[in-house]
Amino acid sequence: LPSSYSFLFYLSFSVLYLCYMSLLCVLCFFFFFLMIRRPPRSTLSSSSAASDVYKRQVSTQSTGFPRISAARVTKHDNNLKLVPTKDVVFLLGESCCGQKKDGPQVAPGMIITEKYLTTIQELGWTPSIVRCPQIFCATPPEIETHLHSPFSVAATVDRVADEVEKVHKEGKFPMLVGGDHCLALGSVLGSSRRYPNLRVIWFDAHADINTPDTSPSGNMHGMPLAGLLGLMKPPGFEDGRYVCVTPDRLGYIGLRDVDAGERVILKDMGVDIAFDMDDLQKSGITELTHRILQKINPNNEFPIHLSFDVDGMDPMDAPSTGTPVCRGVRLHEAMDMIKIIRDTGCLVSMDCVEVNPSLGTHNEVALTIANARVVMANALSNA
């Protein structure tokens, strides 16, 4: 048997060891409790610019998709000086005819929900919805073309142009929710009917200026700017009715996947405000946006249409899109760009396109939808 001193020593050591282990267990339980109580992180809440719009609480509904709830929203006067009212019309571009993948046509209905419209109301706007479903129009059999559904594209974007023009006549803000990017043929045309001196900022990973001769795929979601600039007259587009943009009124941000034929077109057209990701890494999104505005709208006097393709963002922020390209613009950078454009007071219309809920995992679809909502809300906010 150990001596009395040894016994007391071992007893004291055992008690201290048990106290230490008990304290460690309590701390571990405490930190585990904090982690499971902590809201899941997402790019939606990682942007400081986004949090300036409203404090977001991302929760899960029965559908499993993130829900944006506005905990604090302050109503402001309209800072979009060219839009007479505080009414916004969400044009649901339920179309996929500009490319061959199924899915973009269902995105608008998943993005624009009753809950989201409530959030827009809390931003001080009166929202409404107009559906612009795809119009199916077969290509006549005697016409030989490698283009995908050109007559359906023409009929669909004609409808969009008419609806956008109608929204402008009512003094409201048209927000086109796609759908694929061929719809921008209609939104830009409709806005140009109201504002003939319209400037266009194209946020995209792709130049979207292919012609039927340069397009390797024949997908017309890669050709809207060719139509708007008058570079093509394919079947269904022979009369040139979509020509309403000139190279000096166009600026790009986010380019990183430009076809060889498009590079030639951009050079020949003299489009010198086409910033790619190398430019962004060198100069930052703030400087590039100001340089575009200085070039196409130096005195903040001309109306601006922002065409926002979610594939301009990095796939980490918008994975569920048809043509994702790595090294993209991060969400917080896109928010900074939108804020600069919005603060000119010249924004009169906008597209948010190319969300495809049929691509990616459940969480990737949810993230892409949530970030598309935040992008549009930021364009309408004064924060």
Task: Name the active-site residue from 158, 262, 311, 314.
Answer: 311
Task: Name the active-site residue from 94, 206, 276, 336.
Answer: 206
Task: Name the active-site residue from 180, 309, 333, 351.
Answer: 309
C-alpha span between 318 and 324 (Å, rounded): 8
Beta strands in the chain (DSSP E): 56-60, 66-70, 87-94, 126-133, 173-178, 199-203, 250-255, 274-276, 304-309, 347-353
C-alpha span between 56 and 43 (Å, rounded): 11
163 is catalytic: no
C-alpha span between 246 and 241 (Å, rounded): 14
Task: Name the active-site residue from 180, 204, 262, 317.
Answer: 204
C-alpha span between 13 and 221 (Å, rounded): 74
**Among the listed residues 215, 208, 255, 256, the one whose alpha carbon sits nearest the alpha carbon of residue 229:** 208
Task: Name the active-site residue from 180, 262, 336, 354.
Answer: 354
309 is catalytic: yes
Over the Cα atoms of the chain, what is R_g?
26
Task: Name the active-site residue from 181, 257, 333, 336.
Answer: 181
181 is catalytic: yes
332 is catalytic: no
Contact at 8 Å (CB) between 132 and 185? no
Residue with structure tokens 């100069």? 283
Task: Name the active-site residue from 158, 208, 262, 317.
Answer: 208
**What is the enclosing helix (H) or strand (E) of 367?**
helix 362-380
354 is catalytic: yes
C-alpha span between 226 and 237 (Å, rounded): 11
311 is catalytic: yes
What's the full length of the chain, in residues? 383
C-alpha span between 34 and 179 (Å, rounded): 40
Cβ neighbourhood burial of 280 (10 Å; 0-12, 13-18, 19+): buried
Task: Name the active-site residue from 163, 168, 180, 221.
Answer: 221
279 is catalytic: no
Contact at 8 Å (CB) between 310 and 298? no
Tokens of 88: 């916004």
Report the Cα 331 to chain-centroid distance in Å: 9
213 is catalytic: no
Q: Mapping DSSP to helix (H, G, I), strand (E, B) and coil, where does residue 382 land?
A: coil
Catalytic annotation, residues:
181, 204, 206, 208, 221, 309, 311, 354
